[in-house]
Structure 1
Amino acid sequence: METYQILGIVGSLLLLVAIFVIPFFFMYGFGMMGFMGYPMYNSVGYHHYFFFFPFLFFILPAVILGLIGSLINNRDASGILLIVASFVSLPVMFGFFGISFILLLVAGILALTSNK
């Protein structure tokens, strides 16, 4: 495997980690942060991942584009896919604290600029 492929896989795997880490930050659903928010709604359990399911529409395309871009052999196509995946991963906590965004962007640039 080449360097851009390894960087792309690591960046995509960090986004997969974000799928399991981010829901823990969504303790309350929308409009449930007031005085009665915690005791009234926390024991019910249906609201914990209220924002998480729409958030999957940002995570999954970035992961899929990153993995496809790292696993195909065409450098031009993989470079473009990795750069697109890096920008799609921006809403995911700035690319999971910026790490996966930078890894996917560097992998895409390496794929496009390295010798064939």
Structure 2
Amino acid sequence: MPTGYTGDATEAVIAQIERFAPGFRERVVAKTSTGPAELERHNANYLGGDIGGGANDPWQLVMRPRASANPYSLGVKGLYLCSSSTPPGGGVHGMAGFHAARAAVDDL
């Protein structure tokens, strides 16, 4: 949901999934709703409730979390970061872990 959203979109989300996967609603055994402000209170890295680590603009896709030749290295031997805060950013599942693992192997 957008930053500042205070409603509960659970039913809207379920209805949208149901459009493409009929029967989904009957298979849900439990549900919970957490808004953007609550997400940010739970984890300060989720600014405005953004679990993706910020903008996915071209600059951020290659320069997150900071400008670095190896954005996966934390600067401490053996410590690496793999999350949506590293290239290629949120929504590209598995690639941050793949690249962090490659960085670790390269450091061996």
Aligning the two structures, in what range does the TM-score lie when normalised by the shorter sequence? Answer: 0.3 to 0.5
Q: TM-score, normalised by structure 1?
A: 0.31
Which of the two has greater helix per residue? 1
TM value normalised by structure 2: 0.33
